Structure 1
C-alpha cells in the first residue's frame, strides 16, 4: 500500500510540475491519510531525481519495440556471440586442467 500511495503522490507532484522530494511525498500521503514509512519516500525521491515522469510515461511503449526492428541481422549477431562465448568457456575448461598440472585423461 505504501508504494502505491507514494507512486500516486509522485504523479500528483509531476502533474503540478513541482519538484519531487521526500518531504513533499510524505506531506501528500499524510494529507491523504495514508501512513507511509519515510524510507519509501526517500527511495522514490532518489529514483525520480532529475527525471521527467511525464516523459517516462509517454515513452513506455517505445522502449520495448526498438529491439524488434533488428530483424534477422540481430538474430545472426546473437548466434555468433553465443558461439564465441561457448568457445571461450571450452578454452577455459581446458586451461583449468592444465593449471593443476594434469588432465583427466593424462
Structure 2
C-alpha cells in the first residue's frame, strides 16, 4: 500500500515582508498598465513551468512541489491587475464614503 500525503515544510510567515521576498529582476522602463500586465503574465508562465524537485531520504523518493504567490506588489500594480483605483478596495471594489 503506497500512501502519499502532503506536508508543508515551510510557509512564509510574512508574505508582505522583504525578509523572505526578493526582487525577481530590475527593469529600467516606464511602469504602465500594459508593461505591468505583460510582466505578470511572464512571471505566472515561469511559475507554471516549475518542475517538482525530487530528493531521496532514507531510500524513499520525496517530491517537492513549489507554490508561489504574487505578494510583494504596490498599489499601482494592484490597480493595473484588478482594473480598480487606489480609492477602492482591490478585493471587493468598495469605495470610501463620500464627504457630503
Into which bin does the TM-score normalised by the smaller protein fall? Answer: under 0.3
TM-score, with structure 1 as normaliser: 0.24
Structure with greater strand share of residues: 2
TM-score, with structure 2 as normaliser: 0.25
Query: Which protein has the larger Cα radius of gyration, Structure 1 or Structure 2?
Result: 1
Structure with greater helix share of residues: 1
